[in-house]
Amino acid sequence: MPPYALSVSARQILIATVAKSVYTTPMSSTPSQMMIAMPPGRMHYLWFAGLALAGHLLLWQWSTPAIRPAPAVSPKLAPVTVQLAVKPKVTARATPPALPRARESTRPQIAARSQAMPAPPAASVSWSDNNGAVSTASEASAQTGSLHQLSELSSSITLDPVTVLTPLTESDQSLSLHGYAAIAPDNAVLKTKLVSESPGKNPVYGLGEITFQIQDGRYQVKVQAGLDLLLTTLNLYQMQSEGNWTEFGLQPQTMIEKRSKRSETATHFQHDSQTINFSSSNRSTALQAGAQDRASIFLQLSALGKGSPQLFQAGQQLRVQVAEDREAQEFLFQVQAKEILKTRMGELETWHIIRPPRAGKYNSTLEIWLAPGRQWYPVQIRNTQSNGTVTSQYVTAILNPEKGSS
């Protein structure tokens, strides 16, 4: 038992002794009187209590361990080893993109060629690399995800080889299309199939329609193109040209274009002031005689074929001003040769004309096949861009409101 445990009994004895002495002695007595009045035995108790108290205090002092603050212990930090991994320097090596292979340069002078799916309403309409159904089709592909590729479409097309000549170089012997007699073809709706092929990508299929209508000295041409989806068609492109019908063919007044996710544009032919104005540009261009727009040029070629077939001879060059959505340029067409196309409507004899690229003016190649036996309608159209993308549109049916379909 520790020493300080005795303090409890000592304290009790001391308290009881003092209390007994105090409470039995009158409070009015002086200390000397209290000592005298206190019995001798009580004095012994007081002395004993005092000694016990003193001893208790000494024992308490000796037994109490000294409380010293523990020295602060500084934590010993373990050494940290840091390893730095240095990646080797990587030098990027730029690989130049493969240049698109020129279609004409790789062809022989006379090459066998299957009737690819004819060029697109939108592709034929998009004669420049920056404006075309191909770019519009790419935008719609990003929105709609996967496209439905029709196996029936590819399996039902069997194409005969055709003759293709190397494009001629521009010469001073080109003829202006203005001033030649024109005969209006029958009003018709041309139903078309569309396919766009880009290098390294799957083909994109679509549907199109070209409508010709001439009545009461006025004409209207509509061109539409869209993606052929599983259960529906997504409209991508619409173009409409309106104007007067004259003895020399079409005289456009207004051409309107609508594209998916783009603002509508309009081209105005001011015949009084001999200018062409564009809603998408502040510029104006001088209007040349016989000028056409991107929609009316097809019907104009058909009308000239019916009225002046002598223009379409192998090696002939034809020039005409064509207005687009921002500018007007002179197109140079070169008549290639007669070709036999095998289509859903049977074998058709056609005149193949081509507008080759011209540096600084247009970078794509436009090809048109006109069928004299079918009102000189454009039964196949192909647009080849400088990046190698080929968009083709071919006619699958000709609907004549007055005569029925063919």
pLDDT tens track for 335-365: 999 999 999 899 999 999 999 998 777 789 9
* pLDDT at residue 44, rounded to an integer: 64
* pLDDT at residue 4, rounded to an integer: 45
- The CA distance from 109 to 68, in Å, is 111
Helix (H) or strand (E) holding 390: strand 390-400
* pLDDT at residue 405, rounded to an integer: 63
Hey, which bits of 198-327 come out as E strands? 204-215, 218-228, 233-246, 249-259, 265-270, 275-278, 284-286, 292-293, 317-323
For residue 175, give the nearest of 380, 377, 313, 370 by alpha carbon. Answer: 313
* pLDDT at residue 243, rounded to an integer: 97
* pLDDT at residue 79, rounded to an integer: 56
* pLDDT at residue 281, rounded to an integer: 82
* pLDDT at residue 133, rounded to an integer: 42
Residue that has been written with the tokens 């019907």 in this structure: 299
Instruction: Report which DSSP code applies to 149.
Output: P
* pLDDT at residue 62, rounded to an integer: 62
Residue ranges in the chain modelled with pLDDT below 50: 1, 3-7, 18, 22-25, 27, 66-67, 82, 86, 88-170
- The CA distance from 280 to 219, in Å, is 24
